[in-house]
Amino acid sequence: MIAITGATGQLGHEVITALLKKHPPESLVAIVRNQSKAQSLAEKGIHVRVADYSDKDALRTALVGVEKLLLISSSEVGQRAAQHRNVIEAAVQTGVGLLAYTSLLHADTSPLQLAQEHRETEQMLADSGLPHVLLRNGWYTENYMASVPAALAHGVIPGCAGEGKIASASRKDYAEAAAQVLSLENQAGKIYELAGDEAWTLSELAQLLSDTSGKQVAYQNMSEADYAALLEGAGLPGPFAAILADSDTGASKGGLFDDTHQISTLTGHPTTSLLTSLKNAL
């Protein structure tokens, strides 16, 4: 059986959709925190098991009989390493044959603050002896599409990424790549740097949005501190605003760029273009 943690999350949902094209539902296990949110999965014939990343006993029970596990990284920044350790230890104890982990693009060398807990998790996997494969995901294009309404309202895309290239892809692209890796044999020890086929700057995003919407939008580059303050002023919690600003600075240093096209190599088709994503958002 193939199990997916965080199965009712946005990425988890897309992974299950992709896996159902390759595997019967009874061969899949959806590991969720809230069973009521997984009703639609259960109705498809997928096994639903309840376990929180922090509940070691529940994790061990949820992983019984699982041959391959996709560990979708926790969304709780600052608690990820401890939570991931619980999953890895449960996977070792229950004899999981392969663990696939959604890490961060070029996590070993990334300048992003977010990379630290991913590096720690990758080291835990190496130390555990558990056969594993690393899916180092770049940025989701959806991260930027969420700000399109504000950009159109104010005529500005703010940030501190300079002219850093961002090779983003859609969640569906990353999910299809993960489903393919989980469906292939002999994946232990592999590292996939997953990113979009097309790389762009925030200036180019602003220009494309202007061309597509018919409304002039410009990119406003600012300091990391000013951008963090702007995000916090818009209502984001201070620590989260700081992480987002740090990620933009990381992009300016090449932290979100990759041109090896490993997603499209795995899936057999190009990743979703920025133009397509913009049109969908509009």
Specify the pTM. 0.94
What mean pLDDT is predicted for residues 101-116?
96
Write down the mean pLDDT value for the chain: 95
Looking at residue 76, its pLDDT comes to 83
- Report the distance separating Cα 74 and Cα 114, nearest Å: 12
- pLDDT of 91 higher than 90: yes
123 pLDDT above the threshold of 90 = yes
Judging by beta carbons within 10 Å of its beta carbon (0-12, 13-18, 19+), is residue 170 exposed, middle or buried? buried
- Angle, helices 10-19 vs 171-183, to 10°: value is 50
* pLDDT (tens digit per residue) in 129-183: 999 999 999 999 999 998 899 899 999 999 999 999 999 999 999 999 999 999 9
CA distance 130 to 126: 7
For residue 24, the model assigns a pLDDT of 96
CA distance 32 to 34: 6
Comparing C-alpha atoms, which of 18, 158, 4, 24 is closest to residue 70? 4
pLDDT tens digit string along 22-34? 999 999 999 998 8
